Amino acid sequence: MQLLIHCKRVVFMGDDTWVSLFPKKFHRSLPFPSFNVKDLHTVDNGILQNIYPTMEGDDWDVLIAHFLGVDHCGHRFGPDHPAMAEKLSQMDGVIRSVIKRLKNDTLLVVMGDHGMTDTGDHGGESQKETDAALFLYSSSPLFPAPGSQVEPEVVPQTDLVPTLALLLGVPIPYSSVGQVLLPLFPQNGSRGVPTGLSQAEALWINVKQVSRFLETYSNMAKDIPPDSLSQLRADFSNISSQYLAAVHKGHLPSPELVVSMQNYLTAVRETCRASWARFNPFKMAAGLLILGVACMLCYVLSELSHVVIQQGLLKLPILSGLVVGLVVAAGQLFLQGYLELSWCVGAAALSSEVLFLLRTRGVSPKERWSPSGLLTLALLVLFLRCASLLSDSYVIYEGNVVTFLLFTLSVYVPLRLNWDGLLVPLPPPDTQKPPRLLPTVLPSSVVRRQATILLVWLGVLVGSLYLSLSFHNCREEQGTCQSSPFLSPLSRVKNNQLRNLHYVISVGSLALSGYLLYRWLRHYGNLNCISVTVFSACFLIPLACVCMGLHWAVSATPEDTFRNLSELIGLAQVFLPRATFCLLGFGLLLLWVDPMTVFLKLRTPLNSRGTSLPPPKYRASTGISPQAELHHLIPQLYQRIRHSLEDGATESGETDSRPAVEAYGLGTVYSAPLVLLCGLLGLVLLLLHPEGMALAFLLLLLEAGAMLHIHACSANLSSLHKHSNGFSVPWAPVVSWSLAAAQFFHATGHLPTFPSIQWGAAFVGFPQGHTGTALPASLVTLNTFSSHIIFAVGCPLLLFWPLVCEVRGTRPTCSAGVEESEDAVMEMRLRENPQKFSSGLLELAARYLFVNGAQVFASVCAAAILRRHLMVWKVFAPKLMFEASGFIVGSVFVILGVAMVMRVDISVGGLFKKLLPQNSR
């Protein structure tokens, strides 16, 4: 802008970001698309076609050429790839060619805007990322003297601004607080420098500019301490009087005055930095209070979910919060004339939270809040997890920390069961007790089978946990740590055999994941019916997996292998991932439209001798009928059921004449759509990751299944002593589920640092880039928080899985004091107790939000307490941003998972209404 104000003709070519930042400001511009990091040559070749003719012309004063090939090559291949050597050699030749064409009155400035890590990335605060070279060259001698060299030194980036401004002959930008680099200016005003300024003159111009900015800023912001401001004003007045006196006498400024000016510039910069890095303790305390009360609210809500549903305790707090927020907004507009949204939202949230806690204070028995109920191992593990967030070392090694905590909590489950004597068969009960007080005694074979299943799945969990450590990325602070080779795209793998091996492992993991999903649905009879959901499971998912495998193969193909097929390969890189997105998106839509996966089979109510069969019951069958029977049965099934139910009674009586209905998949009517939803989302998220992460996602699937089965076995064995029809998920599986989300955040190559963000996800299916920012931002967000999304959506499975794995006879029924064995009706038990079903679902969601919210609260405390810590901007602040973002994303998808359960419940209700006779609805 200074150049434009002084009528300098600025010509630009290269990265089109400049044109977006300074629209219609250039005398002439030649922008080229820059967002596609896989494109190494378009921008550079465009510059090379125009830079030399432009240099030979005379229609410019400043020529800016922003090359991007080296930057993109680093992002795509890393600094050690042969392509990087080619780009650096090309840039070396460009600099040599420019120097040969340089005129005597022209200054050449070559600079980098950032450095590069060992993986080719940047954006962080490590030395390799923040150090960048600056090279200045002029055909006419620069000071000091021809043939001498200026020693390289590390300087702040802010110091380049005033230096380049004076060398280009324009005023220093108004808001700069940098200090000119004195080695580029002579001590006595030699005419060899383009501007002809001496060190003292350059410093005096710099001091006046900084003083003018300081005065204007202090009058507007009022955030610089008065004592510091008075001292800086006195220093400037003293420097000004000494410099003007020396100039008036015709003397050169003394070296002491030069040092005084340098000290003044340094003091101004440090004062501004200290002022701009200040914190507002009152706002921080208010935010901590709101977050803390919100966590308390979630805990209370999880403990009193049945009371909240019965008495509707949430309506009044929500309404009062809205009223308080509106009152605060009106008060701000009336008193201040402007609106601070954060205060309005904070006041609304705090008032509603406090009112809810006050309303629940007298509706809960005191024993619920006893210390024994609060001091459980699961909550102790959660406390340790939160405490670890206050240590920079534990945050740096967070992947190992959460793995250890999850392992500890998982091993605790069988140890606790063994301590309670539930892993061994119980002795026969005392028959002298009343029947209702008798504990259920399962056969010893059933107890041993449950214990064996528990230990087998524990082994699967432990194996998955420690295999997943192989997929971790490395932070700069971890020293000699080596990132997993699976994090690199196959196109970066130079060894052909290793590339092929990685591809086979990735495709095999993808196929096995799809097969396990299909096998589970088939085992529980959810694939027997003809519905759009079954169509998604049987056809859309396999087809999407094939497209993903082909996409990985095309992406892994080296560019110089099939040059004749480059256009076809480019088309495949666009079509295959987009086709996969469309297939999976269509599957998600079909799943929401019709989530039912139940097949109803009509059985004849009379046997061959004409005697009546027992009254009909719904059964959670897991087998499948012969194929021939299905062919003729399915088309007529619904009509036969409807007509037989509506016709009423027959000669044998109304009850016995009603047809028996056998329902395939009814026992997993809630969990099957949720499992399928997790599978579809998992494939979408896997597509946004490097190919090698397919094995990590397979381990995620195994780990989630192991935790669900451990929880189910524990619930089945615990039910020997606790006969409760409630549907309450203990704290241990909920905390484990949350820790697993954090653990696989690291096991998919992510870290709570900005350089670790996998920006390549934005170009999956869009290799040519985007016209906007919404879509690429969404793709990167889905990639970054994929583990949070999967575990959040699958959270209701913790409620369903003990019912899915229910052992027949563990839930007895008593009739007239006589205990009867009951079939394992699995998830249909939820329909028998809709009130407890709703309270159990609310309790589970509240507990999951509390566990995740407590970790966010701990991150906020860490950033607030350690705000002056050396590592706050490198460790604690990024961790807070990632933790808060993950909580927001996870909360949204928890709501999505609960919404899917409610959608299935509505469909189940509609199914039962269709099956009931008209006169009994």
Distances (CA, A) of 564 to 191, 490, 572: 59, 21, 14
CB 239 within 8 A of CB 264: yes
Average pLDDT, the chain: 81
Q: Which of the pair, 342 or 636, is modelled with greater confidence? A: 342
Higher pLDDT, 914 or 245: 245
For range 548-573, the mean pLDDT: 78
Examine the pLDDT at 885 and tell me if it is beyond 80: yes
Tokens 């999951």 belong to 848
Residue of 57 and 622 predicted with greater confidence: 57
Residue labelled with tokens 């069988």: 414
Q: Is 128 exposed, middle or buried (CB count within 10 Å of its CB: 0-12, 13-18, 19+)? A: middle
CB proximity list for 431: less than 8 A, separation 6 or greater: 438
Residues 907/914, Cβ–Cβ less than 8 Å? no
The torsion region of residue 644 among left (phi > 0), alpha (psi -120 to 50) and beta comes to alpha
Q: What digits encode the pLDDT tens for the residues 611-632?
A: 333 333 444 444 444 333 333 3
Contact 131, 115 (CB under 8 A): yes
147-to-136, 140, 787 alpha-carbon distances in Å: 14, 12, 60
* Strand 813-815, strand 818-820: pairing: antiparallel
Residue 683 has pLDDT above 90, yes or no: yes
Q: What is the mean pLDDT of residues 49-73?
A: 91
Dihedral (CA of 689, 694, 696, 701) sign: positive
Q: How far apart are CA 863 and CA 702, in angstroms?
A: 35
Least confident of 163-167, 507-511, 778-782, 814-818: 814-818
Tokens coding 532? 């759009």
Q: Which residue has the tokens 């909360």?
A: 891
Report phi then psi at 62, rounded to 5: -130, 130
Helical (H) or strand (E) element with 31: strand 28-32
Q: How far is CA 468 from CA 464, 693, 743, 854, in A?
A: 6, 10, 9, 25
User: Of 627, 567, 638, whose CA–CA distance to 601 is shortest?
Assistant: 638
Least confident of 147-151, 194-198, 476-480, 554-558: 147-151
Give me 530's structure tokens: 């003809």
**What's the confidence (pLDDT) of residue 697?**
94
Q: What is the pLDDT of residues 120-179, one digit of tens each?
A: 777 666 778 778 888 888 887 665 554 455 565 666 767 888 988 888 888 888 888 888
Nearest 5°: phi and psi at 518?
-65, -40
Radius of gyration of the chain (CA): 35
For residue 352, the surrounding DSSP H or E stretch is: helix 341-359
Model confidence band, residue 264 (pLDDT cutoffs 50, 70, 90): very high
* Cα–chain center distance at 779: 11
- The lowest-confidence range among 8-17, 57-66, 141-150, 182-191 is 141-150
Residue 823 exposed, middle or buried by CB count within 10 Å (0-12, 13-18, 19+): middle
H helix or E strand, kind and range, residue 136: strand 134-138
Instruction: Report CA-CA distances (Å) from 558 to 505, 555, 837.
Output: 19, 8, 55
Write down the pLDDT at residue 694. 93
Strand partners for 682: none
CB neighbours of residue 899 within 10 Å: 13
Q: Under a CB-based contact definition with an 8 Å cutoff, are residues 693 and 486 in contact?
A: yes
Please give the helix or strand (H or E) that residue 63 lies within, else none: strand 62-66
Nearest to 556 by CA among 505, 502, 512: 502
776 or 374, which is more confident? Answer: 776
Query: Which residue carries 């002491």 as its tokens?
Result: 256
Contacts of 273 (CB under 8 A, 6+ apart): none
pTM, full prediction:
0.75
DSSP 629-668: HHHHHHHHHHHHHHHHHHH---TT-HHHHSPEEEEETGGG
d(CA 657, CA 89): 89
End-to-end alpha carbon distance in the chain: 77
